[in-house]
Amino acid sequence: MNETVERLIPLFEKVAAKIGDGAAFSWTVLVRQQYVDAIMYGVWAVITLVLAAALLWVGRPREHVRIRTSDDVLLVKDADCWIASRLCYIGALFGALSIACAVAAVGRLVNPEFYAIRFLMGLVK
């Protein structure tokens, strides 16, 4: 770990020398950008949660469908169970995606500096 930090110090010094007085401003912009990312992840979490709920509601298990024929005879059929189960699987995937987006949003709201540093480390690689 210390070796990595020692290799990064000269790189950050060069970047800081080029930026100069704008380094503090750049840092605040990076931290604010993490809040923007958190809001975007939050919006995606809500959208995917709504999609998951809609798919799970549409694909919910139903009772048999009763069809009355012209002869006044009741026919009982299954309500396309395979379609309903596929919709539930897709809804569950959207639910998992919603949880992942919510976790990312909370992480960026709680500790935006970490994600700003992580962004800078990604630039160095």
Backbone angles phi and psi of 122, in degrees to 5: -65, -30
Q: Is residue 49 very low, low, confident or very high in pLDDT (cuts 50, 70, 90)?
A: very high
Residue 33 belongs to a domain: yes
Residue 77 belongs to a domain: yes
Tally the domains of the chain. 1
Q: Which domain holds residue 81?
A: 27-124
Query: What are 70-106's pLDDT values in tens digits?
Result: 665 555 555 556 677 788 889 999 999 999 999 999 9
* Mean pLDDT over the full length of the chain: 79
Please give the C-alpha separations between residue 120 and each of 15, 31, 32, 46, 104, in angstroms, as whole numbers: 11, 11, 14, 29, 18
Average pLDDT over residues 26-32: 84
Residue 108 belongs to a domain: yes
Residue 52 belongs to a domain: yes
Residue 54 belongs to a domain: yes
78: left (phi over 0), alpha (psi -120 to 50) or beta: beta
pLDDT at position 8, please? 65
Residue 119 belongs to a domain: yes
Whether this prediction's pTM lies above 0.75 is answered by no
